[in-house]
Structure 1
Amino acid sequence: MAANYAGLLADKLERDGSRREASAIRERLARVPAALVSAQLGAHRSPLGNLPVDGDSRLSTVDVSHPVLGEVQLLLPSALQARLQDFLSSVQHRDKLLAAGVSQPNRLVMHGPPGTGKTQTARWTAGQLQLPLLTVRCDTLISSLLGQTSRNLRRVFDYAQEVPCVLFLDEFDALATARGNERDVGELQRVVIALLQNIDALPDDTILLAATNHDQLLDYAIWRRFTYRLAMPLPDQDLREQLWAQFLGAYTPSPLSLSELAQRSEGLSGAAIEQVCLDAKRKAILSAKPHVEETEVFRRLGLTVAMNNGQRLHSVQSEIQWLRHWYPKYFSQRVLAAAYGVSQRQIRNAIEEENDNGDRGDESA
């Protein structure tokens, strides 16, 4: 509002012949990015007003969080990090780009497997802009009364235009599934149309993020609405090593090889690696130890790999057999005995039973 009044004042001064003063005001306005003004408004506005609610249940259709600048850590492949920085710069310097006639809508869609950092990227972006994050769980936005869903959408998008924020549509495919499926009723197709219309009606300076694990399900018309797109892959070797270092942090024991952990965790998402580290650190804290145990990290990693591969390990014996098969170089009989608090004879019996049965003693999913 202050910027608008300043612009009107500059126009009036120019009409009155005070061109130098008008030019000074406009020059000053050009140096104040719109995102900074919005961030200041968001920082000083304690309540966010009445949040949009579902017209049927009266439950809120958005979750509000306030990511803090510098507190949200984000690790992405260098190419994605550069692309994300391009998006952030375009938001922060929108006025400058607008003056040059090269501005684009502040819209970014992220797609990729679960656990690859899409939600974390949304939180990081809101933190960098110092704006509240309004997360719309698209699967919960859909009302049991289908006609209510379009009205819910309208309320959310109207609210995002009134309050400085980052609007984040999570599980985007729940709303934006491709039209033309004969199993879809007409009302569901109208929801996609309503979504497209609401996106089109958004001012270009409204910051809109979306994320999906199933990009192949998105309607073809959705992609044209997003200027920036991030394909979030599973982490490669270098990124996995960085993730292990970040998530273990000060709890990393000196003999632990992060490179070896990165090699053994191929195919896992960043979220899965983080969970292994959290579990290992919790055990270290409860055992009053300053660092995680190397064996415990590899044990939990091996069990996570098993789950990721669809293996069901129902007993300690099946875990022992799986770990021995998964990483025999590390999980010797002595290491396994120490890890599970049993004798080496018991470990040897479990291994021999596996060999006799011709399998690992576990069940496939």
Structure 2
Amino acid sequence: MIKKSGEIDSIESDFANLARLAASGASEDIRLFLARLVRKYRRIHPDLAVQLDQYLKASQARGASSSVLRRGGTPEVDSPRQFPLDKDSQLSLIRVFNDYDDVASPLLPSNLLRQIEMVIREHVEREHLADRGISPTRSAILVGPPGVGKTLTARWIAKSLGKPLWVLDLAAVMSSFLGKTGNNLKAALDHAKSHDVVLLLDEIDAIAKRRSDESDIGELKRLVTVILQEVDLWPDTGLLLAATNHPELVDPALWRRFDAVLKFDVPDDVAVDTAVRRFLRDDLSVFEPWVNVLVIVLSGQSLSDVERAIASLRRGYALQYAPIEELVEIAINQVKVDLTQPERLQLAVELAKSGKHSHMKISQVTGVARDTIRKHAGPSPRKGRGVK
């Protein structure tokens, strides 16, 4: 069968690059490039793909054996001393999270949670996909405002896959000598690729934010190029995650490289209700009559804000700082300026239903007229039943 000239040119280019890598002695880059070729040729040249895959697996086996021998025969996760450091500050470029005792499933909308669960399943059943010539999601970017659960989700993904989470500290990567930043970034990414981990590039826009500095633009362009190449060559066995609070600052070319975009937003009322109950923990039974009120008050807040508000309530209750209804009033007063008029009315009705406050007190707290409260919630509690 005569191949098209374009196809021949592509094959020649691939094997010329492979020869170049072999001549340079870059064994890890060779393995990564072989993995890319296996994926590329599975459909159009399956026999060639099988051969390349055999060479790749043999190379990986030899690399794993030598790595184990160098560490004394016992494979283990690197200690912090083994991680690449910034030569100027001696800061470790990678932080490790592998204690997942307190990591629960993230409180996310059902459609986003399904997306994340699918990514996890793809990696759990990676070999099944490989048999059909399909790669799992190798990279994903997590987008959303602060406090909505992006980092927690990354930890939960790593926990679900039984792998440590490595976080690339971009503050450490950004050397005081900007010309060295590219070397820092490449060293950290190469180190992560050679281990079976989930890597998170947290606040990836930290690099993009500084692109407006004309004096540094050349180096920053090189940093983006490094990341683009690494996302393209990330191995199927690993998972590369990135997180950003400012998607508008991320280079458009980088968006196209990620296999998946996971969009986070402030939690809906169902998620806030679940969060309030989860964060109350052992005090849930005590605050149960106030849960609906707390959900209304905290609606539209980030999960971190919800957790902070509930922690404040629990501290006040534990120290007997004030009666529960007064602690709830304090929480209301902290956020009520952000409530819309319909939300204030809904809050007033819920407070009236609790029977803990007179309509006068509810009116003072919410700013809703007593006649309006009476119209929607019925008569005020009898004298003596609540705080006046």
User: Of the candidates 306, 309, 312, which is equivalent to residue 279 of structure 1?
Assistant: 312
User: CA shift at 1:295, angstroms?
Assistant: 3.3
Work out whether 1:94 is the aligned partner of 2:122: no
- Show the counterpart of 2:331: 300
> How has the CA–CA distance of structure 1 residues 241 and 98 changed in structure 2, closer, same or farther, with 3 Å as cutoff?
same
2:87 counterpart residue number? 55
Maintained 8 Å contact 1:77/1:239: yes
Q: AA paired with 1:269?
A: S
Q: Contact between 1:168 and 1:210, CA under 8 Å: does it hold in 2?
A: yes
Of the candidates 280, 288, 299, which is equivalent to residue 266 of structure 1?
299
Q: How far, CA to CA, are the matches of 1:163 and 1:144 in structure 2? A: 28
The answer for the alignment partner of 1:173 in structure 2 is: 205
RMSD: 3.4
1:199 to 219, 231, 249: 231
Q: Which residue of 1 aligns with 2:160?
A: 128
Structure 1 distance, partners of 2:156, 2:336, is 28
Tell me if structure 2 keeps the 8 A contact 1:109–1:210: yes
> Aligned pair in 2 of structure 1 residues 151, 184: CA closer, same or farther (>3 Å)?
closer
Give the letter for the 1:166 counterpart.
V
- Cα deviation, residue 167, structure 1: 0.6
Deviation at 1:242, TM superposition (A): 1.1
Distance 2:213 2:175 in 1: 20
Q: Report the 3-state secondary structure (helix = DSSP H, G, I; strand = E; otherwise coil) of the residue aligned with 2:257.
A: coil
Task: Give, in angstroms, the shift of residue 254 of structure 1.
Answer: 5.2
Q: Identify the match of residue 239 of structure 1 among 250, 271, 293.
A: 271
**Taking structure 1 as reference, are residues 103 and 220 closer, same or farther at Cα in structure 2, changes over 3 Å only?**
same
The verdict on how the C-alpha distance between 1:219 and 1:181 changes in structure 2, with shifts beyond 3 A counting, is farther
**Mean alpha-carbon deviation: is it higher for 109-118 or for 196-205?**
196-205
SS of 2:166's partner is: strand
Instruction: Give the Å deviation of 1:132.
Output: 1.3
CA displacement at 1:196 relative to structure 2: 1.4
- CA offset at residue 221 of structure 1? 0.9
Q: Deviations over 1:211-246 (max 9, x none)?
A: 100111111111122112111011111111111111
In structure 1, what is the equivalent of residue 170 of structure 2? Answer: 138
Does the aligned pair in 2 maintain the 1:72–1:123 contact within 8 Å? no
- Whichever residue aligns with residue 159 of structure 1, its letter is H
> Any gaps of 5 or more consecutive residues in structure 1?
1-36, 310-323, 338-365
CA distance in 2: counterparts of 1:132 and 1:178, whole angstroms: 30
More deviation, 110-119/191-200:
191-200
2:269 partner letter: Q
The whole-number CA distance in structure 2 between the counterparts of 1:205 and 1:327 is: 50
* 1:326–1:260 CA distance, 2 compared to 1 (3 A): closer
Name the CA shift for 1:196/1:178 in 2 (closer, same or farther; >3 Å).
Answer: farther
Q: Report how many residues are paired.
A: 281
CA 1:209–1:126 in 2, change beyond 3 Å: closer, same or farther?
same
CA offset at residue 181 of structure 1?
A: 8.0
Identity %: 32
Whether 1:147 and 2:175 are equivalent positions in the alignment is: no
Match of 1:186 in 2: 218
- TM-score, with length taken from structure 1: 0.68
Name the SS for the 2:82 alignment partner.
coil
> SS in structure 2 opposite 1:287?
coil
Please tell me whether the aligned partners of residues 139 and 175 of structure 1 are also in contact (alpha carbons under 8 angstroms). Answer: no
1:79 to 92, 100, 111: 111
Residue equivalent to 1:110: 142
Shift of 1:201: 3.2
Q: What are structure 2's unaligned runs of at least 5 residues?
A: 1-63, 69-73, 352-356, 365-388
Match of 1:249 among 273, 281, 288: 281
> Post-superposition shift, 1:116?
0.6
Matches within 5 A, 1:156-167: 156-167=188-199
Residue 204 of structure 2 contacts residue 243 of structure 2 at CA under 8 Å; is this kept in 1? Answer: yes
Q: Is the 2:123–2:136 Cα contact (8 Å) retained in structure 1?
A: no
Residue deviations 1:156-180 (CA, integer Å, cap 9, x gap): 1111122221111111111245968
CA–CA distance in structure 1, aligned partners of residues 279 and 294 of structure 2: 12
Alpha-carbon shift at residue 276 of structure 1 (Å): 0.6
Which residue of the partner structure matches residue 45 of structure 1? 76
